[in-house]
A = this chain, B = another copy of it.
Amino acid sequence: MTTSTRDPEDEAAIRDLIDAKVAATRARNATRATAPFAPDALSFDVVGPLRHVGAGAVGQRAEAWFSTFRGPIGFDLLDLRIVVGAEVAFAHSLNHVHGTVADGRELDMWWRETLCFEKLGGRWMITHAHDSVPFDAETGKASLGLKP
């Protein structure tokens, strides 16, 4: 059996990564939004394909998504829970985005996010991310209008 101490510094480091990602999203800065990801991070995104491999793919997706907005993005996390071990951590939240998209429509959408972290070479990084909306089994449509 192993034991570990939950270090407040580890929890603060994870929180800083999440805060930085939120701030970068609001500022539509794909480089900073991607910085917390490990080079070989595996991500399951809100839209297809099934998975993306690598931080490069995360950055390209962020760039493409940010470019669909006019001006800054309203972005907040609800019910963020962070669980931190000595070398492995995870966090989950309901993410709320609102803003004006390129064609002038107002986007106001919630999705679910799970982030998984590993401490690699003394530095916490996101090695796995899962973002999604559920779908409606009756219509086969993604449920883009749900609110918590």
Contacts and interface: CB of A to CB of B under 8 A. Distances in A.
Interface of A: 1-7, 9-10, 42, 44-51, 81, 83-90, 92, 94, 110, 112, 114, 116, 118, 122, 127-128, 130, 132-137, 140-144, 146-148
A140 B141 contact: yes
Given A50-B148, A134-B46, A116 B92 contact: yes
A51 B80 CA distance: 13
Contacts of A42: 81, 92
A124 B90 CA distance: 15
A10 B4 CA distance: 13
B130 A2 contact: no
A84 B85 CA distance: 10
Given A88-B84, A88-B85, A130 B142 contact: no
Q: Which 8 A-B pairs have the closest CB atoms?
A: A85-B88, A132-B132, A135-B142, A4-B86, A85-B85, A44-B112, A48-B134, A4-B4
A16 to B, nearest CB: 16
10 contacts: A3-B86, A47-B134, A50-B134, A51-B112, A83-B127, A85-B85, A85-B87, A88-B89, A114-B116, A130-B130
